[in-house]
Each structure stands twice: as C-alpha cells, then as structure tokens.
A = this chain, B = another copy of it.
Amino acid sequence: MATPDTRTQILDAAERLFAEHGYRGTSVRAITKLAGANLAAVGYHFGSKAELMAAVVRRVVEPITAAQCAGLDKLLARTPDPPVSELVEAFAGPLFDEMPAGDEGGARTSRLIVTILSDPAEEARSWTGPAEDSVRERYFAAFARVLPGLSPEELWFRMRGIFAVTAVERLQVHQQPSPGCVSPVAGEAARRWAITFLTAAMSASPPLT
C-alpha cells in the first residue's frame, strides 16, 4: 500500500486531532508531527489552520449529507407520505454509517461532528454550507407532511432533537464512561436503539395547550 501524499496525511492527522482535542486544542505543530510532515506544509497546502479545518469538515460532512439526500429521494419516490420511522432512519442513519476509510469504528467522525457543532470558535459557524441547510429543509417538509398536528416551531424543535441524540450518543461512545454507568454500545445496536427512541419521540402527540 502506497503511502498517501502529504496533503492527505495532513488531512487525516488533522481530522483525528481536531476530533480528539477540538479546534483550539489542536496545534499546527501537533498535526504536522503526527502526519510526518514539515510545519510549513499546512501553510503551503491549505493556507492556514482555519482553512485546513474547513477542508477536514468538508471531507467528513459531504458523504453524510449526500446519503441523507439520497435516502429521502428514495423514500419520496415510493410514496409522498412515508412512515415516520423511515424518515427518521433516512435522516439519522447516515450519521451512524458514513465513515471515511481508515476511521477507527467511526470514532474520529463522530467526535469531529460533535466538535463542529459545539465548538465555540467563531470559525466553526462557517464550517457547514448551504447543502446541509437544503437537506434539512427537505426533511422538515417531509416530516411536516406526515405530522400535520405539529407547529413549525415544535417540529424544528424535534428535528434538533434527532440531531442531538445521534451526535451526543456517538460522542459518548468514545469517552470513558462515568463510574457506575454501563459503557455505551457502538454500531448496529446503537443505531437500532436510536431509531426506536427517535421514532417514538417524533410521533408523539403535541402537548395539549
């Protein structure tokens, strides 16, 4: 197996370290050292640390967004009113599935996603683009159609809930468990649990008042 070029090795190292220590907790020196590259290579290949982060995020998020989009297309081609459980699966499933090659069981990707979402760095706001917004709006419309009793505000609330559960769940898989707390389960079981949990939550009747 041929060793990948410097640019790719930096992307791999950065993805791993950003996921483990966050954007601000990762130094360019640590990235280039892990990648076996020179310190100046980041500037040469990416321009700056922030642009490197943007490239890392793009590489991770794009296949997830594409899978979410394809899943919705497939669902809507069959029927305009798919079951809630299948909408949930099409939306949340790719967050469990889509992993770049070399990702150790999804650890890097999941931590990175949470890092993107929760990083208070100003740069983080621009790390996702219009494609992600578009997919989210299409799912919103589909959910609104099959859950007509919900106000738009409450539906957005619930969609954020889907994201919260999948993201935090996958994050905690790779943190040491708290004492007395059973270690989280990765893989197929967690995916099934999440779909069950979220389908019930999405299907709940809105509160009366």
Contacts and interface: CB of A to CB of B under 8 A. Distances in A.
A180 interface: yes
A101 interface: no
A49 interface: no
A30 B50 CA distance: 22
A182 B168 contact: no
Q: Interface SS of chain A: helix, strand, loop or mixed?
A: helix
A166 to B, nearest CB: 8
Given A168-B167, A201-B200, A190 B22 contact: no
B153 A185 contact: yes
Contacts of A187: none
Give the interface size bracket for A toward B. 35 or more
B196 A207 contact: yes
B168 A160 contact: yes
Contacts of A133: 178-181
A133 B152 CA distance: 36
Interface string A6-43: 00000000000000111011000000000000000000
Contact of A206 (B118, B125, B176, B196): B196
Given A200-B201, A201-B201, 11 more contacts: A22-B119, A24-B24, A114-B118, A118-B171, A137-B180, A157-B194, A160-B169, A161-B169, A164-B168, A192-B207, A196-B207
Interface of A: 20-22, 24-25, 111, 114-115, 117-121, 125, 130, 133, 136-137, 140, 152-154, 156-158, 160-161, 163-165, 167-169, 171-172, 176, 178-182, 184-185, 189-190, 192-201, 203-207, 209
